[in-house]
Amino acid sequence: MTTITLPIYNIEGKEINTMKLDSAIFGDTINEACLYQVVNAYRANQRQGLAQTKTRGEVSGGGRKPWKQKGTGRARVGSIRSPLWRHGGVVFGPHPRDFSYTVPKKIKSLALKSALNAKIKENNFIILDSFKIENSKTKEALKIFSSLKINPSGSALLLLDKIDNNLKFALRNIGFLTVNRAADTSTYEILAHQKLIITESAIKELMERLKNK
């Protein structure tokens, strides 16, 4: 299994070092079947399942039989809320339900590894030595992304080991950016963004999370 070595950049966009990635986690393997399962599960778990229609028993009114059973020459009707009638109930309509389901931990882990490997293969994986902003100014943060040649018309995911208040204030108004902790990121989140930017400490935390899984 080949070992992948990636450059480490500073916030000015200059290469200052390299990092050898753990070959047990990072490699050429991209398991599309696992990615498919995990992404589908994630999207299903986001569904609220609140759609609801009323059956003939739930629609208000219709308690009295509109006309007698026989002798009128008209069809038999027991309620004006029959599904055949206007303003009647709905047959086999949706009701609140839970769409969520679980995926085995090993498949989740393999999918996350595959998502990371996909970003490396696309050359969309950037490692920073650290990400620090002295003043909580969005302008300072944008300078960093400009130095890293991040296209503002695209999308980027920034993974950190921890997020302090200064960073929150500086990054919250950047439309193309999503910020998260490496310990909390998901396969779907990584695949949903074009660029993945991760700090050196965060990638170590991520590797520790994926080790032996």
Element (H, E) at 190: helix 187-191
pLDDT tens digits for 33-46?
999 999 999 999 99
pLDDT tens digits for 166-198?
888 888 889 999 999 998 999 999 999 999 999
**Percent of the chain having pLDDT more than 90?**
59
Element (H, E) at 16: strand 15-20
Q: What is the pLDDT of residue 169?
A: 85
Q: What is the pLDDT of residue 90?
A: 95
Q: What is the pLDDT of residue 67?
A: 95
Domain boundaries, the chain: 5-47+101-210, 48-98
> Can you tell me the mean pLDDT for 147-166?
89
Identity of the amino acid at 179: V
Closest CA to 186 of 4, 40, 8, 9: 40
pLDDT(28) > 80:
no
State the average pLDDT for the chain: 90
Element (H, E) at 156: strand 156-160
**Percent of the chain having pLDDT more than 70?**
98
pLDDT tens digits for 62-115?
899 999 999 999 999 999 999 999 999 999 999 999 999 999 999 999 999 999
The reported pTM is 0.82
> Can you tell me the mean pLDDT for 105-130?
92
Superfamily name with CATH number, domain 5-47+101-210: Ribosomal protein L4/L1 (3.40.1370.10)
pLDDT(212) > 80:
no
Q: What is the pLDDT of residue 213?
A: 62
Strand ordering across the sheet containing 156-160: 15-20, 5-9, 125-128, 195-199, 156-160, 177-181
> Can you tell me the mean pLDDT for 7-32?
86
Residues 71, 189: Cα–Cα separation, whole Å: 67
pLDDT(211) > 80:
no
